[in-house]
A and B are shown apart, each in its own frame.
Chain A
Amino acid sequence: MEKAELLELVNTKLKEKFHGSIESAELLYDFPVFVINKEHIHDVLSFLKNDEELNFHFLTDLTGFQTPDEKHLGVIYHLHNMGKNFRVRVKTFFPMANPEIPTATDLWKGANWMERETYDFFGVKFKGHPNLKRILNVDEMNIHPLRKEYPLEDQTRDDKSDKMFGR
């Protein structure tokens, strides 16, 4: 199936059930991308997985991101139906002040560690996650390092002065 056809198919099905919660549906870099309202993200994911025709039974990847204006965070889901080789990308945005989103671990077990990673690096709180704690960074870390408001460099170094390194 052509990508454009897949986009059309999924879009029609979603519109039927979740009219108004689809913020956009387009082909980006030859890949169908849907932006879904945060309130309905879990219902939409559940529908995409359980619909008989679409049956996106595999969660390829789940990760977070921050918008360049530093006001919103987002979570992105890559879904795959291996039998028919359907692949779509589902995004959702939410304000940084309230980074809470329902977990996808009840749909795909594989979301467990990916959500922990997203929590670790972006501070997204997945409601209903069975074990939401840091996975890669040290437990004592008190920042979410991939957010732009936190500096990338180690803050305990004092041998690099602005004079020498132009910071």
Chain B
Amino acid sequence: MSKELTKRTKLEIAKSPEGLEGPGFFASKLEDVIGLARANSLWPLPFATSCCGIEFMATMASNYDLARFGSERLSFSPRQADMLMVMGTIAKKMGPTLRQVYEQMAEPKWVLSVGACASSGGIFDTYSVLQGIDRIIPVDVYVPGCPPRPEQIIEGILKIQELAKNESFRRRDSAEYKRMLNSYGME
């Protein structure tokens, strides 16, 4: 069986960034190298409030193993985290806490909204539930599902990795980015 597996498995070798290559040296843009490093060592901060958080546990466990994608180390302090993963229903009363967690994260930071509730309020169209976290913090990638399967969560993280890889070095200093933060009432 193992022979068959090796036969069938198609291995894709990760591409190196664009650059000049010669015997014994490789020259590239610093931006690309940093992007590569950032993308493959994102520290997630799990903000899990309900069933999507259970799917996240499966994502971290051995079957799906998020560590394969460089997110081995969960950060439970926002100050050390790169990626905020919001998984589950956010009640309006939880809103200010979530916002504070986001504001405490250091740039560059990305936000992944996992599941219907975090993305839009989901089935909880009611007076006590925040109708999507993008009302209080900016979101980079949305993962649909109720709850989404671990494969979908991994897909979302891979999308964030793409963002991190291709992000311009000066994006976070740009006027456009500041405008976006200002529209959320942040500096």
Residues of A within 8 A of B (CB): 136-138, 141, 143, 145, 150-157, 160
Contact = CB atoms under 8 A, between A and B. Distances in A.
Nearest to B128: A137
Given A137-B93, A138-B92, A138-B93, A157 B127 contact: no
B155 interface: no
Contacts of B121: 154, 157
Given A137-B93, A138-B92, A157-B121, A152 B127 contact: yes
Ordered nearest first, which 10 A-B pairs have the shortest CB separation? A145-B127, A153-B125, A138-B93, A138-B92, A157-B131, A154-B131, A154-B125, A152-B126, A154-B127, A154-B126
B125 A157 contact: yes
A141 B128 CA distance: 9
Contacts of B128: 136-137, 145
A165 to B, nearest CB: 9
B130 to A, nearest CB: 8
Contacts of B93: 136-138
23 contacts: A136-B93, A136-B128, A137-B128, A138-B92, A138-B95, A141-B127, A143-B127, A145-B128, A150-B127, A151-B127, A152-B126, A152-B127, A153-B125, A153-B127, A154-B125, A154-B126, A154-B127, A154-B129, A154-B131, A156-B131, A156-B135, A157-B121, A160-B125
Interface string B68-84: 00000000000000000
Contacts of A156: 131, 135
Nearest to A145: B127
A90 B121 CA distance: 38
Nearest to A134: B93
Contacts of B129: 154
A157 B131 CA distance: 7
